[in-house]
Amino acid sequence: MPCQALPSGTWSRFFGVDSGGRLVLRTRTLDTREDFGAGNPGDDAGGGQTRSPYLRDLSQVDIGDRPWLRLQRDARSHLSTALVSADGRAWQSVARDIVPLPETVHAGVCTTGACAFEDVDAKSLDPDIPMLSIRYQGARAELARTKPRTVTVFDVLDVSEDADGVVVAEDLFQTRFTLPEPSGDRTYKVVGKRPDGGTVSSAEIDVEIPAA
């Protein structure tokens, strides 16, 4: 069924294609203050526009080439990440915002016309396991992760078949890391280290950049 208009005052995040065929990430909260500056709401305090509602225009992403969409939210940090994929396996981050939402949220899909959805799923992820995303910058890739409260530092491992878990960076505090320039497709994961000596591993993530 077509989705109905949300009542006034409803907090919402929408990631999908708008009526003009653009891929967008749209946010609406109760914060309608106006910021100064040239930044983006959710990235810093200098948004230079009304905090809500606001829209990220992602029309540079070819939705025909990347029809798989994922909206990932870390409830503790309020970080939402919009990801796209060509095959539902290798995911690319196209937008990241920090926008506080209520503790309880509802997830679903909607349409304003006739369409078909495939492989729709909503999962509750373990907040103590790092969540990964990839953002491409030309021939390089930036690995971003969430930070569980119980973890202090992270190692980045190349777990491709020919690498056998080699450590490419260790004891990182930052949440973003530019990966070594690859010679082809690679697979990575991160291992978080706890103060008590314990560790926690993320799921593996594929990086697909054509060979130079």
State which residues of the chain have pLDDT below 50. Answer: 1-3, 42-47, 211-212
> Residue 163: inside a domain, yes or no?
yes
Beta partners for residue 199, in sequence order: 193
- pLDDT per position as a tens digit, 148-202: 888 999 999 999 988 888 999 999 998 889 988 766 788 999 999 999 999 999 9
Tell which phi-psi region holds residue 47, choosing left (phi > 0), alpha (psi between -120 and 50) or beta. Answer: alpha
Domain shared by 15 and 72, yes or no? yes
The answer to whether position 114 is within a domain reads no
- The reply to whether 204 and 130 lie within a common domain is yes
Q: How far is it, in rounded angstroms, from Cα 201 to Cα 83?
A: 21
The residue whose two tokens read 């070819």 is 62
Tokens 């890391």 label which residue?
A: 177
Query: Is position 169 within any domain?
Result: yes
Q: Do 81 and 155 fall within a single domain?
A: no
* Residue ending a domain, choose from 103, 138, 160: 103
| pLDDT in the model for residue 156 | 95
In a domain, 1, yes or no: no
Q: Are residues 97 and 135 in the same domain?
A: no
Predicted pLDDT of residue 44: 45
- For the domain that residue 207 is a member of, what is the CATH number? 2.60.40.10
Q: Which domain holds residue 202?
A: 126-212
- Give pLDDT, residue 40: 53
Domain co-membership, 19 together with 89: yes
Burial of 80 (0-12, 13-18, 19+ CB in 10 A): buried
**How many domains does the chain divide into?**
2
